[in-house]
Amino acid sequence: MKPKIFIDGREGTTGLQIYERLSSRRDIELLQINNSKRKDVPTRKMLINKADIAFLCLPDDAACEAITLIDNDDTRVLDASTAHRVADSWVYGLPELSAHQRERIHTARYVSNPGCHSTGAILLIAPLVESKLLPADYPLVIISVTGYTGGGKKMIAEYETSNRVERWDLDSPRLYSTGANHKHIPEIVSYSGLANIPVFTPIVADYPQGLQIIIPVHMPGRRREAFEILKDHYSGCINIDVLDESPTFTASNFNSGTDNVTLRVLGFDDKIILTAQMNNLGKGAAGAMIQNMNIMLGFDEYDGLIFK
Say which of 57, 64, 116, 237 is annotated catalytic.
116
The answer to whether residue 237 is catalytic is no
How far apart, in whole angstroms, are the C-alpha atoms of residue 110 and residue 91? 6
Find out whether 178 and 111 touch, Cβ atoms under 8 Å: no
Q: What would the 3-class secondary structure string for the chain be?
A: CCCEEEEECCCCHHHHHHHHHHCCCCCCEEECCCHHHCCCHHHHHHHHHHCCEEEECCCHHHHHHHHHCCCCCCCEEEECCCCCCCCCCCEECCHHHCCCHHHHHHHCCEEECCCHHHHHHHHHHHHHHHCCCCCCCCCCEEEEEEEHHHHHHHHHHHHHCCCHHHCHHHHCCEECCCCCCCCCHHHHHHHHCCCCCCEEEEEEECCCCCEEEEEEEECCCCHHHHHHHHHHHCCCCCCEEEECCCCCCCCCCCCCCCCCEEEEEEEECCEEEEEEEECCCHHHHHHHHHHHHHHHHCCCCCCCCCCC
Q: How many residues does the chain have?
A: 308
CA–CA dist 162, 200 (Å, integer): 32
Cα gap 279→150, rounded to integer Å: 10
CA atoms within 13 A on the CB side of 235: 7
Hey, which residues are catalytic here? 116
